[in-house]
Chains A and B, each alone.
Chain A
């Protein structure tokens, strides 16, 4: 590494006390080591293991295993559905909390954080207590022919619970900082609620919204604990991809397990890439805005 590439960043020409060169090299090496050992090598290892039996093995493990195939289908239906539902919720919650003052507002904000403080396993347990066969509502729902626990509605509810705050938490600070002058002006000029949302609010918050949705989607795909409890592990029916990884691992089917894991890792990389593109775009937008 050339020493000139190790310059300390100077903030607007300000003096920032420099660390000696050897210390900088040491710290940067440490960072490379930490990220390499904790993140890069494990990621490479997933693909290495998934490819242990070559492309044919990977294809066989993913496409010809019916239960694995079903788990991919299930995850790729439940995750987007969760994102849609939580986006609607996040918009409603953020709108109510930032545009109006009402008693109980602080309580509402606090409640939004609760899913972060509860272990996903406990989330699953609570849903079982409510909707399970021995639960408070389970038997009644069963009479109506609705099965929640050990079925996809349970998986959806569990995933929704765990990812509930993501969109709202992204939008609330954003909408708070934007204020409501534009909206108030639009309403006094006769805009109806529909026009207000699509023409004024949405364009202002769209990138924050997309950011929240990306995070929500990533977490929805990866959710394990809550889903583990409510799924009942019926192969080919209620196993999502992360559950499938665990089941194959328990069956000592390492290539199969890593094959599913490699698809999940690719999705995670896609998430990171999406976030990166978005951040670049926002940075460019802000640069042009400040020029104007």
Chain B
């Protein structure tokens, strides 16, 4: 058959493939097909009427905008955290390092609950921030804050191993050739870290686009102001407008796939030109 010779001796190919494909079909492919069938029941006019309302446009824009800003912040914070945790020895380093994974382990609903309570006017953070005019709860800023929390580990965990593997010699060479620390950072280190930063950005961005559990606690979910696309989908579902909800979901999926493909392409490009 078409199995290569050296692989033919091992057992379990048919069972393994059969099981994998069955589960993927049941769990992934059938639901996706159901989704497309549902959208196909709409006429093109109905489809556009559902997915391109003012409220829906505002929701896509907020979903993409907040996820983008949060991912950019995560790249900056993540680079700083990874740098300090890898390069310096200091009291509490390992403890802080283990804490970085908390956002992965903590249910996002808990994150949403905590940050919304901290950021309201009477909250621990809100009592200082609200008088300054920084409204974290029930605002777009709040959405960005929880998305930063939820996506925090991605950039740190993708950059850390790369930083660890970088030998001192390129930096050493740069320093000997007369580059100052700042030039070494921009010209030598950042280009080497760029692919991993991009990967971290993509993971954080994708996570933000789909995030629901934490956002509903903090955003207040006001249409056209603080309503993200997944919340709009649920709102349509609760009105039993299944076809419209599906249409919005398909648009959201298409947009996320296109933006992820774009980021992947950029990442591959930067990997190719990385030193």
B110 lies within 8 A of chain A by Cβ: yes
Instruction: Decide yes or no: A45 and B124 within 8 Å by CB, A5-B89, A31-B80, A92-B16 being known contacts.
Output: yes
Chain B interface SS verdict (over half): helix
Contact B217 A265 (CB under 8 A): no
Complex Cα gap A193–B15 (Å): 11
State which residues 82-130 of B face A: CB under 8 Å: 83-92, 96, 98-111, 113-115, 117-118, 124-125
B209 lies within 8 A of chain A by Cβ: yes
B30: chain A residues within 8 A (beta carbon): 130
Contact B3 A122 (CB under 8 A): no
Instruction: Decide yes or no: A8 and B87 within 8 Å by CB, A27-B80, A93-B16 being known contacts.
Output: yes
A72 lies within 8 A of chain B by Cβ: no
Complex Cα gap A132–B153 (Å): 36
Instruction: Decide yes or no: A100 and B35 within 8 Å by CB, A92-B20, A111-B24, A218-B104 being known contacts.
Output: no
Contact A119 B35 (CB under 8 A): no
Complex Cα gap A10–B171 (Å): 13
B158 lies within 8 A of chain A by Cβ: no
Complex Cα gap A96–B3 (Å): 12
Complex Cα gap A40–B103 (Å): 11
Contact B253 A122 (CB under 8 A): yes
* Interchain CB contact (< 8 A) of B109 among A118, A219, A245: A245
B178 lies within 8 A of chain A by Cβ: no
* Interchain CB contact (< 8 A) of A34 among B80, B103, B257: B80
B234: chain A residues within 8 A (beta carbon): 121, 228-229
Contact B113 A245 (CB under 8 A): yes
Contact B34 A122 (CB under 8 A): no
A276 lies within 8 A of chain B by Cβ: yes
B237: chain A residues within 8 A (beta carbon): 125, 128, 229
B168 lies within 8 A of chain A by Cβ: yes
* Interchain CB contact (< 8 A) of A242 among B21, B210, B213: B213
Instruction: Decide yes or no: A16 and B168 within 8 Å by CB, A99-B10, A242-B107 being known contacts.
Output: yes
* Closest chain B residue, CB of each to CB of A6: B90
Chain A interface SS verdict (over half): helix
Count chain B CB atoms within 10 A of each CB in A184, A224, A242, A257 and give the residue with the most: A224
B92: chain A residues within 8 A (beta carbon): 32
Q: How far is the CB of A258 from chain B (nearest CB, A)?
A: 7
B159 lies within 8 A of chain A by Cβ: no
* Interchain CB contact (< 8 A) of A228 among B84, B88, B213: B213
**Which of B50-58, B191-199, B244-252, B267-275 binds A?**
B244-252
* Interchain CB contact (< 8 A) of B168 among A15, A157, A187: A15
Complex Cα gap A5–B88 (Å): 9
Q: How far is the CB of A100 from chain B (nearest CB, A)?
A: 5
Contact A121 B114 (CB under 8 A): no
A65 lies within 8 A of chain B by Cβ: no
A203 lies within 8 A of chain B by Cβ: no
* Interchain CB contact (< 8 A) of A11 among B9, B88, B167, B181: B167
* Closest chain B residue, CB of each to CB of A134: B242
The number of chain A residues touching the other chain, given as a range, is: 35 or more
Q: How far is the CB of B38 from chain A (nearest CB, A)?
A: 5
Contact B28 A114 (CB under 8 A): yes
Contact B102 A43 (CB under 8 A): yes
Contact B230 A225 (CB under 8 A): yes
Binding site for A on B (CB under 8 A): 2-4, 6-7, 9-13, 15-17, 19-21, 23-24, 27-28, 30-32, 34-35, 37-38, 77, 80-81, 83-92, 96, 98-111, 113-115, 117-118, 124-125, 148-149, 152, 167-169, 171-172, 175, 181, 184, 206, 209-213, 216-217, 229-230, 233-234, 237, 242, 245-246, 249, 252-253, 256-257, 260
13 new A-B contacts, CB < 8 A, other than A42-B115, A121-B210, are A1-B90, A6-B88, A7-B89, A28-B88, A38-B152, A96-B17, A100-B3, A129-B242, A164-B28, A193-B12, A222-B213, A229-B237, A242-B213
Instruction: Enumerate 20 A-B pairs (CB-CB under 8 Å) in ascending A order.
Output: A1-B90, A5-B90, A27-B88, A30-B80, A34-B80, A92-B16, A95-B12, A108-B24, A117-B206, A117-B257, A119-B229, A121-B210, A128-B237, A129-B37, A135-B34, A161-B28, A161-B31, A196-B11, A245-B107, A272-B101
Binding site for B on A (CB under 8 A): 1, 5-11, 14-17, 19, 24, 27-28, 30-32, 34-35, 37-43, 45-46, 49, 88-89, 92-93, 95-96, 99-103, 108, 111, 114-123, 125-130, 132, 134-136, 157, 160-161, 164, 180, 183-184, 187-188, 193, 196, 215, 218-219, 221-225, 228-229, 241-243, 245-246, 249, 254, 257-258, 261, 264-265, 267-269, 271-272, 275-276
